[in-house]
């Protein structure tokens, strides 16, 4: 499904899938740098004394990790303005932007494609190392193929959303990752750790034949967790309290 905004010249897929080959460069993720946005520096109590110090610090952190042959996905809220100025200082052969609520579509789209974003999408999925990862600015309870064990990365919350122990997802925003992009290997290590903990606690919800983890959190109360259990043969659903 696609929509086209003629005023911006953008053709956007609602869930575009890209493929990344790790032999051709590393893959990184980040969200919510808010370059040039001093109000966010103050609101989030970032450890920088000025806007210039924040911008310079995050650009250094980015370039210390991301190489010129690498790919990075920014999951929203890239900059307050002057996108071209910041893109010109950042490493990366390919830089994907997933729209955030503070992103300026016209500002992002007017950057020369040779020096701007490789692609701009509302949501994006990436296939890497036989894993599919759903990327969005906002955290989702469910997402494309989540019941088949796909992963989900998000931003927006600036580290203030409690992490869901039953969800193969987490916040890659700068505020909870030392203002530094997160590598695919870091994502994989964290997701595999969460997956192992879920399987240990709920072994019946792991399909050993396919390797898929079919857990769908649907209800929460302080003293109770309800989960949806998939019956592998009948494909019917039953709700089961912990």
Is 125 within 8 Å of 16 (Cβ atoms)? yes
pLDDT tens column, 91-111:
999 999 999 999 987 788 777
pLDDT tens column, 151-161:
999 999 999 99
Is 98 within 8 Å of 122 (Cβ atoms)? yes
Residues in the chain where the model's pLDDT stays below 70? 1-14, 114, 206-242
With a CB cutoff of 8 Å and minimum separation 6, the contacts of 82 are 35, 36, 107
The domains located in the chain, with CATH, are 2-200 (3.60.21.10)
Pick from 214, 213, 19, 17: nearest CA to 129: 19
Opening angle at CA 153, ends 152 and 155, nearest 5: 140
């Amino acid at each position: 499904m696609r929509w086209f905004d003629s005023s911006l010249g953008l053709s956007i897929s609602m869930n575009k899938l890209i493929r990344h080959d790790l032999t051709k460069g590393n893959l990184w993720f980040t969200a919510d740098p808010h370059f040039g946005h001093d109000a966010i520096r103050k609101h989030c109590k970032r450890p920088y004394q000025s806007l210039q110090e924040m911008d310079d610090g995050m650009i250094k952190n980015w370039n210390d990790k991301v190489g010129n042959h690498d790919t990075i996905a920014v999951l929203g809220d890239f900059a307050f303005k002057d996108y071209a100025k910041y893109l010109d200082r950042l490493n990366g052969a390919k830089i994907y932007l997933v729209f955030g609520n503070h992103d300026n579509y016209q500002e992002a789209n007017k950057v020369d494609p040779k020096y701007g974003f490789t692609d701009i999408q509302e949501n994006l999925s990436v296939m890497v190392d036989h894993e599919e990862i759903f990327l969005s600015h906002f955290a989702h309870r469910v997402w494309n193929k989540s019941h088949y064990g796909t992963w989900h990365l998000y931003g927006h919350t600036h580290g203030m959303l409690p992490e869901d122990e039953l969800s193969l997802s987490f916040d890659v925003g700068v505020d909870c990752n030392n203002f530094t992009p997160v590598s695919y290997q870091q994502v994989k290590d964290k997701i595999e750790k969460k997956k192992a903990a879920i399987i240990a606690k709920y072994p019946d919800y792991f399909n050993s034949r396919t390797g898929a983890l079919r857990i769908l959190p649907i209800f929460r109360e302080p003293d109770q967790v309800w989960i949806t259990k998939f019956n592998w043969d009948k494909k019917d659903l039953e709700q089961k309290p912990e």
